[in-house]
A and B are shown apart, each in its own frame.
Chain A
Amino acid sequence: MLIPLSIQSRQALDKLVLPLLVVAALGIMLLGQADRQLAERVRMGVADMLAPAYGLVVWPQERLHGMYARMRDMTRIGAENERLRAENANLRHWYDVAAALADENAALKANLHWMPDPAPSFTTGRVVRDTSGLYARSVLLAANVDSGIHKDEIVLDASGLVGRVTEVGGRSVRVMLVTDVSSRIPVTLEVSHGAAIMAGDNSATPRLIYYPQDNGPIEGERVVTNGEIDTLPAGLPVGRVHYVRPGQPVVIPAASLDHLDIVRVFDYGRASVVAPDAPGRIPLPRPGGALPFPFQPKVGRG
């Protein structure tokens, strides 16, 4: 010790350290509740620093995974060839149908003077860490943020909707998955044409709620987004309906949420609503009278 102190005062000081630290911990807890932006910024700073290291950890795992998958494929290459040939024939038929429909669609749109949707720009990133804990389902992307990723953009993998961006750091981006307990996505059921809300509950299969009672979801029908949220365009594939028991429909996500690898972050350029908060928190009403969640009234807005 630099300052010479008597043994008694040194002992008294030692006794004081722990209570002071407990008070500091309580202060940090209150500060974290009062200023969430600050806590998020500090955390994203730490995640940014660790993102390259996490990338190094993920890389060999992916190589091993790929090697294992290739070895497994080797053992059943004959059956796989047979299946692919059959599927190819089937797909060729569908290709012809799709080409004919695209032509017809183009002709009809030309006749109607259809105003085309703006083509979305996207950024591709690798998932470096699953930050899901006990209370949240989210992942961390290593993405170059200079390419212009913002909060509330839409994340898709090869086969469907993954989630939405909640926090943006210098080198990494945090994405709240559709399975998170605070995720609510307005969807359309393709066959029954009903609208519903897909509500995450931290399990692998989000629930369907608020569907029309006289026109319930049908087992196995496709679920797509509807255009209720401004940043989320209609018609993105979400998954399929499944009944775990009668009267309890859930959605089996089309995206492979438990093993995400490379995803794309889409900017649909319609960011005019409040971005979602980080998972695990309740969105507080913001000053200005706007509703806390993206369901804003359609009237009275530009």
Chain B
Amino acid sequence: MTPDQSPALQPGIQPRASLWRRLDALSRRGLPAVFTALSVLLLSAPFDLPGQAELLSGVVLSSVFFWSVFRPASMPSPVVFLLGLLVDLLGFGPPGVMLLILLIVHGIGLSGRYGFARIHVLLLWAVFGGVALAATVLQWGLMSILAFRMMPGVPFVFQWTLALGVFPMLCALFTMMSRTMANPDRA
């Protein structure tokens, strides 16, 4: 991981901060959020893929969790808020539920990041599994309360399983991204 370095750690001789260079750095810093927003839009488009609706929450949860742990500068709280708003506007569930869950997952990632960023990736996967399970149970509970009836549990189990399965793949992709295209230090 290469987090944004503090000015004190950066080399003294630097290329001039021209407009293009600043734009480049900005787009690299914004790439994780843009990637997540695009995948939300694509996953709610009519592609008729099996499990498309259930996959959406897994992808968003993984992305928010990963970037909150490894580079919160690219996934600040207001961006998480906007992403949650987007998910809630495109879905047709009760509004605000995914928003709240994303903010909570972001908060967990943010507060535990000094521990999480150091542990082995398999252990991180297990941590994410626990967080995603809690998020899914919370979602089920909120949905049931807001609709005044018990929601069937099986789709939520499916959703959690998909989130668990998609996390390692996204983890590999994001690690690669954070070293290459999404690395502001390479602007």
Contacts and interface: CB of A to CB of B under 8 A. Distances in A.
Interface of A: 17-18, 21-22, 24-33, 39, 42-43, 46, 50, 53-54, 57-58, 61, 128-136, 138, 174, 202, 278-282
Given A21-B103, A129-B45, A26 B96 contact: yes
Interface in B19-62: 41, 44-48, 53-54
Contacts of B77: 17-18, 21
Contacts of B143: 135
Contacts, number: 104
Given A43-B89, A53-B45, A25 B103 contact: yes
A204 B20 CA distance: 54
Contacts of B81: 21, 24-25
A29 B100 contact: yes
Interface of B: 41, 44-48, 53-54, 76-78, 80-81, 84-85, 88-97, 99-100, 103-104, 106-107, 110, 142-143, 146-149, 151-152, 155-156, 159
Nearest to B158: A134
B107 A18 contact: yes
A-B interface, 7 closest residue pairs, ranked by CB to CB distance from nearest:
A29-B96, A32-B95, A28-B96, A134-B155, A25-B100, A129-B46, A25-B99
Contacts of A131: 92
Nearest to A43: B89
Given A22-B103, A133-B53, A135-B151, A46 B89 contact: yes
15 contacts: A18-B107, A25-B99, A26-B96, A28-B85, A29-B94, A31-B95, A32-B95, A42-B89, A57-B46, A61-B46, A130-B48, A132-B53, A134-B93, A134-B159, A138-B92
Mostly, the B contact residues are: helix
A214 to B, nearest CB: 31
A210 to B, nearest CB: 19
Nearest to A132: B53
B104 A22 contact: yes
B94 A133 contact: no
Given A21-B81, A25-B84, A280 B92 contact: yes
Contact of B95 (A28, A61, A174): A28
Contacts of A58: 46
A280 B107 CA distance: 29
Contacts of B94: 29, 32-33, 280-281
B100 A22 contact: yes
Nearest to A65: B48
A192 B114 CA distance: 70
Contact of A61 (B44, B48, B97, B159): B48
B78 A21 contact: yes
Contact of B100 (A26, A54, A57): A26
A42 B85 CA distance: 11
B8 to A, nearest CB: 14
Nearest to B148: A282
Given A26-B100, A134-B93, 5 more contacts: A18-B106, A29-B146, A46-B89, A134-B155, A135-B93
B41 to A, nearest CB: 8
B92 to A, nearest CB: 5
Contact of A57 (B47, B106, B155): B47
B84 A278 contact: no
